[in-house]
C-alpha cells in the first residue's frame, strides 16, 4: 500500500493549527525551513543523575572502576549533539557552532548524591538547537550511568529539560526557576 499523502510536498497551511510537523491528515513530515532567516540560536538543557553521595565522590575524583567518567561523558554528549538529526526522525541536520557539557556535583540546585549535567549548543541557522542540547544532556547522563552501574545499579536519570533558548521567531525564554548560571 502506498501512502501518497506522506510523499507529497507540504503546501501552504499543510501543518494546520496544531503541530508544525503534522499535516492536516495526521501524517508526519519534516518541516520546510528553507524560507526562514538564518540567525544565531542557542539552547541550554539539563539532565540529573541521582545516585549515592559516595558514588558522586568517585565520579568527582575519577576513582570509579571504569575510570574517569566526567571526561568520557563530556565527549559522549558532544558527539551526541552532532548526531541528533540521525537519532530524531524529523530533526533537521544543523551546522553546530559549539557544544558545551558541564557537570555540577554540589552547589545551589544540586541535591546530595546527584550530578547535574548542563549543556549548551549554538548554531547560526534557520531552526533551533533545543533537540541537540537535550540529546547532549541525555547521552552524557546515560554515559555517566554506564560508568557507575557497577557500583550503583539503582541510579536514576531524571529532569531532562530545556532550560533556556535564544534566537528564532519565538524569541528568547528561560524556564521559570531555571538556574542557567555557569552554562556557556
E strand spans, 2-155 = 39-50, 96-104, 114-125
CATH number of 38-173: 3.30.70.640
Report the sign of the C-alpha dihedral through residues 169, 172, 173, 174, in that order.
Answer: positive
Report the sign of the C-alpha dihedral through residues 29, 84, 144, 103, in that order.
Answer: negative
Q: What does residue 137 show for φ and ψ, rounded to 5 degrees? A: -65, -40
Cell of 73: 561523558
Q: What's the confidence (pLDDT) of residue 109?
A: 80
Q: Which residues, 6 or more positions from 131, have their beta carbon under 8 angstroms from its beta carbon? A: 84, 88, 91
Give the residue numbers annotated as catalytic, written as ranges: 146
3-state SS assignment for residue 57: helix
Q: What's the confidence (pLDDT) of residue 73?
A: 98
Print pLDDT tens along the chain (184 aa). Answer: 334 333 334 344 434 455 576 677 777 777 878 778 889 999 999 999 999 999 999 999 999 999 999 999 999 999 999 999 999 988 999 999 999 999 999 888 899 999 999 999 999 998 999 999 999 999 999 999 999 999 999 999 999 999 999 998 888 999 987 766 644 4
The whole-model pTM stands at 0.83
Tell me the domain boundaries of the chain: 38-173
Amino acid at each position: 500500500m502506498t501512502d501518497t499523502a506522506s510523499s507529497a510536498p507540504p503546501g501552504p497551511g499543510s501543518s494546520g493549527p496544531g503541530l508544525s510537523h503534522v499535516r492536516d491528515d495526521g501524517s508526519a513530515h519534516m518541516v520546510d525551513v528553507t524560507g526562514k532567516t538564518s540567525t544565531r540560536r542557542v539552547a541550554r538543557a539539563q539532565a540529573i543523575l541521582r545516585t549515592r553521595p559516595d558514588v558522586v565522590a568517585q565520579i568527582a575524583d575519577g576513582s570509579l572502576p571504569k575510570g574517569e567518567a566526567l571526561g568520557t561523558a563530556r565527549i559522549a554528549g558532544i558527539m551526541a549533539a552532532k548526531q541528533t538529526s540521525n537519532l530524531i526522525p524529523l530533526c533537521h541536520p544543523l551546522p553546530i557552532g559549539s557544544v558545551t557539557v558541564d557537570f555540577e556535583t554540589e552547589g545551589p540546585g544540586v541535591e546530595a548524591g546527584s550530578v547535574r549535567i548542563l549543556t549548551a549548543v549554538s548554531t547560526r541557522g534557520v531552526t533551533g538547537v533545543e533537540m541537540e542540547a537535550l540529546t547532549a544532556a541525555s547521552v552524557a547522563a546515560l554515559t555517566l550511568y554506564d560508568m557507575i552501574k557497577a557500583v550503583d545499579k539503582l541510579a536514576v536519570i531524571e529532569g531532562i529539560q530545556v532550560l533556556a533558548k535564544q534566537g528564532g521567531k519565538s524569541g528568547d525564554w528561560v524556564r521559570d526557576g531555571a538556574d542557567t548560571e555557569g552554562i556557556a
